[in-house]
Amino acid sequence: MQTWKWLYDPAAAFNWRFIFSVAIRVVILFVIVNVVFALVDPLPALGSISAYNHLFRGRERLPYGENAAVSYNLSLNQIDAMFESHVVASRKDDDEFRVVLIGDSAVWGVLLEPDDTLAGQINRLDYHTADGQTVQAYNLGYPIWSLTKDLLLLDYALDYDPDLVVWLFTLGSFGQAAQMRSPLVQHNPDPVEDLIKRFDVNQDPNDPRFVRLSFWDKLFIRRRRDLADLMRLQLYGVPWAVTGIDQEYPDYEPRLIDLPADDTWEDYTPQTLTTDDLALDVIRAGVDLVGDTPIVLINEPMFLSDGENSDIRYNSFFPRWAYDEYRRLLDDYSARYGWFYLDLWDGIPEADCYTDSAVHLTPECSARLGKLVGAAIVELADQAGRQDND
């Protein structure tokens, strides 16, 4: 009888009406919160709030990873949060000559400790400019081949007052099909569209692969994963600061030496490539974007196989004809525009210099690259300094 008391007891009925009234108010409040969240879209602002470089040290490379329990890292698409977690967001010293490195997974440093990446190797060599400034390199590389992804990150990097930019790349980043492959590009349509229009890049600003959020997609309930990623990034700052671990180091299959008898690249078979086939205009956009800031463009080194079918392919990534055509076009383009360009493609050819792919270097060979790139940085920095003094 007690269970059904509310059926005939006015007091109990009143309590039931009170509970119902509270429930209605909770629903209304939930709707209001969702609508306001969608209208305001606070995620970019929330991404700029970070405990990195304050409560614990900044990361040496941009967040990227899939096994957070092992790497204390994760991939996310909030670029503001990525940069604010990075040591580049820390205060710039008065005697610092700040160099930012952008590029692909080889720059980010797959299978390398932070100090063994290209940026780490340059810093280890303790370079100084002619006027006594200390060269400090920052690793802003990010995995997945795409020059458009690099251009997007370069646009953000300029907010951190670099004195010089180093942009490393290889043929894989130049394919037109590669430009939209990166989730960072797909999930950041507005800044990418702005860059396309501002620099007249030969890409479709209405590409259907852009992830454009509707009003309903921006509701709080639909963006819980994005909010959770921002929170997790902060939480992983503690184990990162304690251990210095920011990626998983699994066992891997070494790069191929014996190659398939395949002469295709992307959708192309042997032919003469044109500037329309390669995203050279994205490099031009990057040079225009940095303005008066000196920029070094580098065709990064890669493994050169001497195994089976090495007469057809340089390595598992690139057939000889496509890579030769790419270098020809890049040489012509660089000469036409007067770019500071280094072609280091065959500078470190040995098989034992590479780990799981034809572009991922071992620590020892990363140090060799660091000397080559470091010398170029000092040369261009001093050249720019002399021009400023004239």
Q: In the chain, what are the helix, strand and coil shares in percent, each to the nearest 5?
A: 50, 10, 40
SS3 of residue 185 by DSSP = helix
Give the tens place of pLDDT for each residue, 275-304: 999 999 999 999 999 999 999 999 999 999
Q: pLDDT-based confidence at 215, cuts 50/70/90?
A: confident
Whether the per-residue pLDDT at 356 is higher than 90: the answer is: yes
Pairing of β 164-169 and β 134-139: unpaired
Return the residue matching tokens 């493609």: 345
Q: How far is CA 380 from CA 127, 160, 247, in A?
A: 13, 20, 33
Give the tens place of pLDDT for each residue, 117-150: 999 999 999 999 999 999 999 999 999 999 999 9
Q: pLDDT-based confidence at 390, cuts 50/70/90?
A: low
Pairing of β 164-169 and β 295-299: parallel
Report DSSP state, residue 58: P
Sheet of 340-343, strands arranged across: 134-139, 96-102, 164-169, 295-299, 340-343
What CA–CA distance (Å, rounded) separates 243 from 2?
60
Return the residue matching tokens 């990534």: 317
* Contact indicator for 285, 201 with CB cutoff of 8 Å: yes
The C-alpha R_g of the chain, in whole angstroms, comes to: 25
**Which residues is 99 bridged to in the sheet?**
137, 164
Quick one: tokens of 386?
């002399």
Q: pLDDT-based confidence at 313, cuts 50/70/90?
A: very high
Q: pLDDT-based confidence at 38, cuts 50/70/90?
A: low
SS3 of residue 243 by DSSP = helix
What CA–CA distance (Å, rounded) separates 10 from 346?
89
CA 306 to centroid of chain Cα atoms: 32
What CA–CA distance (Å, rounded) separates 109 from 64?
11
Confirm whether pTM is higher than 0.85.
yes
* Confidence (pLDDT) at 14: 52
Homologous superfamily of 34-389 in CATH? SGNH hydrolase (3.40.50.1110)
CA 353 to centroid of chain Cα atoms: 24
Q: Hey, what amino acid is at 206?
A: N
SS3 of residue 168 by DSSP = strand
Domain ranges of the chain: 34-389
Give the tens place of pLDDT for each residue, 185-207: 999 999 999 999 999 999 999 99
SS3 of residue 167 by DSSP = strand
First and final C-alpha spacing in the chain: 98
* Confidence (pLDDT) at 45: 84
Is 385 exposed, middle or buried, given 0-12, 13-18 or 19+ CB atoms closer than 10 A? middle
SS3 of residue 153 by DSSP = helix
Mean pLDDT for the stretch of residues 22-41: 73
